[in-house]
């Protein structure tokens, strides 16, 4: 179950760039705790020393919060372009608890715009971890919601929440996914770190 949850959070970024290292996976993450943002970049290096695929995730949590604790919004991107990332292709809510406290049965995740428009999806949880796929397609299922993925970056304010069986919010965070300057700065930092590791065979798994 843990393996499936972890794999479901990954989004493939197509493309190839030169590298020196042999086969492996090079991972880097850049954080901005003050804003509650982080960007994760994962590079897959092939036998010929070429970066064969790229994965990236922009994670938004409450400003000043511990990024490994509580509720967060994760945006995935399918293609990398010269000026940064392409459009959002997946939207998920994530929950983690360091003390192992789990989610209640039949909990749902919701994302709501200031206009009142709301998207929901059931939370899948195990041992203090949780995942609600609002718009994502994986080998294990999921669903695509083009309207959400096309509009998420233009929303200056969204509220994400964990809701109990009666619909009451158990935990909620107000986030700003239109803060693309923060995203792009962290993307550049994480990409540079990952590519530097890809050039050194011993620095990647």
pLDDT at position 11 is 32
pLDDT at position 9 is 35
Task: Give Rg (Cα) of the chain.
Answer: 17
Report in angstroms the alpha-carbon separations of 145 from 87, 113, 119, 133, 139: 13, 15, 9, 10, 17
Q: What is the pLDDT of residues 18-73, one digit of tens each?
A: 444 456 888 999 999 888 999 998 888 887 778 887 888 999 998 887 767 789 99
Report in angstroms the alpha-carbon separations of 116 from 41, 149, 155, 173: 33, 17, 12, 15
pLDDT at position 73 is 93
Enter the tokens of residue 47: 């036998």
Q: How far apart are CA 195 and CA 26, in angstroms?
A: 8
Please give the average pLDDT of every successive group of 10 residues along the chain, which has 205 residues: 36 37 80 91 82 86 79 81 72 80 81 91 78 75 79 89 90 90 92 87 69
Report in angstroms the alpha-carbon separations of 6 from 22, 120, 202: 25, 20, 24
């Amino acid at each position: 179950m843990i393996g499936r949850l972890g794999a479901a959070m990954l989004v493939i970024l197509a493309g190839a760039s030169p590298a020196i290292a042999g086969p492996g996976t090079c991972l880097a993450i850049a954080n901005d705790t003050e804003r509650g943002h982080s960007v994760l970049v994962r590079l897959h290096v092939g036998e010929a020393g070429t970066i064969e695929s790229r994965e990236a995730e922009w994670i938004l949590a409450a400003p000043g919060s511990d990024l490994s604790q509580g509720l967060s919004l994760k945006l995935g991107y399918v293609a990398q372009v010269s000026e940064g990332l392409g459009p959002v292709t997946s939207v998920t809510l994530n929950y983690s608890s360091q003390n192992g406290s789990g989610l209640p049965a039949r909990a749902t995740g919701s994302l709501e715009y200031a206009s009142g428009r709301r998207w929901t999806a059931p939370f899948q949880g195990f041992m203090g971890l949780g995942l609600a796929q609002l718009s994502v397609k994986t080998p294990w299922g999921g669903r695509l919601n083009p309207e959400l993925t096309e509009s998420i970056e233009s929303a200056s304010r969204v509220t994400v929440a964990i809701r109990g069986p009666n619909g009451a919010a158990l935990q909620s965070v107000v986030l700003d996914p239109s803060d693309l300057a923060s995203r792009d700065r962290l993307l550049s930092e994480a990409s540079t770190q990952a590519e530097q590791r890809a050039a050194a065979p011993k620095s990647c798994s």
